[in-house]
Amino acid sequence: MPESTIDLELEKKEILKRYRSLLKSCRRMMDKNDRLMIRKAFDLALQSHSDMRRKSGEPYIYHPIAVAQIAVTEIGLGPTSVVCALLHDVVEDTEITQEDIRVMFGEKVAKIIDGLTKISGVFDHTSSLQAENFRKMLLTLSDDVRVILIKLADRLHNMRTLDSMRRDKQLKIASETLYLYAPLAHRLGLNAIKTEMEDLGLKYTEPEIYEEINKKLLETQRERNRYINKFSLPIINALTDAGLKYDIKGRAKSIKSIRDKMKKQEVPFEEIYDIFAIRLIIKCPLEKEKAECWRAYSIVTDFYHPNPDRLRDWVSTPKANGYESLHTTVMGPEGKWVEVQIRTERMNEIAEKGYAAHWKYKSATSETALDEWIQKIREMLEKPETNALDFLDDFKLNLFSEEIFVFTPRGELKTLPANATVLDLAYEIHTHVGNKCIAAKINNKLVSLSHHLNSGDQVEVLTSNKQKPHEEWLNMVVTAKAKSKIKEALKVEKRFKSDEGKEMLYKRLHQLGVSTSKGNLEKIRAFFDAPTFIDLYYHVAIGVIPVKSIRDAINSDNTVKVKSHSPKTELKTLEQIVSKVRGKSDLLVIGEDVDKINYKISSCCNPIPGDDVFGFVTLNEGIQIHRVNCPKATELMSNFAYRVVKAKWTNQKQISFLAGIRVTGTDEMGIVNNITKIISDELNVNMRSISFDTNDGIFEGAIMVFVNDTNHLTDLMKKLKKVGGVLSVTRVDSN
């Protein structure tokens, strides 16, 4: 934005207005010293960022003020965090040093700023080692959880102001947010922030779907409010008569959760029954919370029949992120299912503000599951995996998973993620128990290591000193702790075996009269294509490389080298491959230069012309073309942004692409014939395969067809929907 068009005086007034609003937000929690410290931080940030502007053209200082505002009002952090939020970009972006911060603001603030500065490269627009950086970010969790909380506030504001960024940057930042930041907010109990991050993530990764659901929510808002009032009226009267103090609210579910349900259930917006939920917030002292929640539940179910399969009691047993609430789904007026959430004011604050609120109420409770989770993270980080992506996958497994509760023989309660096995529980008890686990007794019945546990199981883990971890165990567990400990044990075992293999190899070389010099060992390693010497020795020990074959390596050539590739297939760095593909335009045009550029349509999402797509550079398979809403897209764009190539389609109609269609309906006479007739009559559409299955008068068909683009496919699907008896026609991702 040109300097001449900027009203600097107006901007100064706006900056002061925002700063005063921030002070007002934290007025209750700060004393005179805090106010002086915040003012000093604001002045330093204002001076340091005075010449900087955001992509939107706004003064950069708007951003740190907004991050501080989120930290106070939406996370519930105090004055120290406000100071750190105001200064979070100062050390990285200006000449102010870490030592300057320490002198001006003290050790505590300096430590948090140091954590924020160290992770400033996490998920920046150029970083390629995303997983490694994320692990570094989690290391700061060991020092002060406020580092992560301020980082989440920073990311939330970036998501709220993403409109001014380029489309490819929007996609990358939104994908990272969906992939890791939203799950992390969820795990720290920041439900409101997690929900907003998910919705904003969907807004930029699937804008058309976001707008469609948002529009329908607005269109049905009046009708929804009318129904909520009708549902609530008898409950309100009964709660008042019972002498309970309460608030009752009706709220629409998040756009992302509605989208996920539509996708999972393969139904349109109109067929999602629980678009909204009723929240009942009870006002009562701590010692009466549980009783009052169940009293309110009793009143609700006096009027509406509950679904026995949909009762969730997180009041008696809170979730690991501190969440407490009683959820039930009841049959409301007009035959509609309605979810009712019952909680107290304290529980509601913890549900919305997560860790900060949990800390506020900590004196009222003992060490919670959230403290235990943070301790587990610290344990995981003490011995991080050499492969950062493995660590990241293991960590992510435990962010969003639902939980189950099982009991030890002594009645001790253990919390595990859904789908956890006997082996997961064994490692949860102790590493030694996991390593020696052979089976378990569930309710006195013998089961195997891989048996999946259910809530309420009483489990006795059986061990044997002869047992040791095996490679296949990694496929039996879901917890990060179990995976980490199994890999650790396998690594120790591999090293032990490799020592045996080394002795065997040296003995064989001695028999052959060959020196064990480093040069000779390198030739042998290269001959057998072993990645490292440890792998070479290990393969000798377990018989993958027979000792007798060592002679072949020696006799083949005294100057054995790694086979060189011909110039045609010579491997280049990923950067070189990407650069060659991108060229000057930084854009891959699909359908052109097929001979020059090796690309293929990804089978995981089967993109076709008209889909919003991107290219992903692989080492061995050229470039894979994925849809932007592919299930793998967020992971690829988050962890391997440097391999992502912008892509668009040409208008070459003669190219056909494979797409899948699922058709469901009532099994009427001749319906399959009618469907196939429409497809065969459609110009330029060929079927590759068709299969139909019927059950109790309902049929489901899967059809693979070749089409030109999304418009072609949409037209075909519209025609199929008009066939008598057809209930739904949806596109499927994979063949």
Interval 216-252: pLDDT, tens: 999 888 988 899 999 999 999 999 999 999 999 888 8
Q: Are 38 and 23 in contact (CB under 8 A)?
A: yes
Q: Which domain holds residue 342?
A: 214-364
The number of domains in the chain is: 5
Flag whether 133 is in a domain. Answer: yes
Domain co-membership, 668 together with 588: no
Q: How many separate helices (H) and strands (E) can be counted in the chain?
A: 30, 19
For residues 24 and 101, membership in a common domain is answered with yes
Instruction: Confirm whether 197 is domain-assigned.
Output: yes
CA distance 66 to 10: 18
> Got the DSSP string for 539-561?
HHHTTSS-GGGHHHHHHH-TT--
Q: Is 673 among the domain residues?
A: yes
Same-domain pairing of 180 and 221: no
Q: Which residues are catalytic?
A: 92-93
Q: End of a domain among 331, 364, 397?
A: 364
Give the orientation angle of helix 145-160 with respect to helix 62-73, to 10 degrees: 120
Predicted TM-score (pTM) of this structure: 0.63
**Same domain, residue pair 634 and 663:** no
In the block, tokens 């009752």 appear at 248
**Least confident interval from 156-165, 316-325, 566-575, 658-667:** 566-575
256/354 same-domain check: yes
Percent of the chain with pLDDT over 70: 80
> Do 237 and 179 belong to one domain?
no
pLDDT of residue 58: 86
* Domain boundary pick from 364, 390, 405: 364
Looking at the predicted structure, is the pLDDT value of residue 379 above 90?
no
pLDDT in tens, 247-262: 998 888 899 988 988 8
118 pLDDT band (50/70/90 cuts)?
Answer: low
Residue 729 structure tokens: 């026609």
CA distance 444 to 226: 53
90 & 38 share domain: yes
Contact indicator for 444, 393 with CB cutoff of 8 Å: no
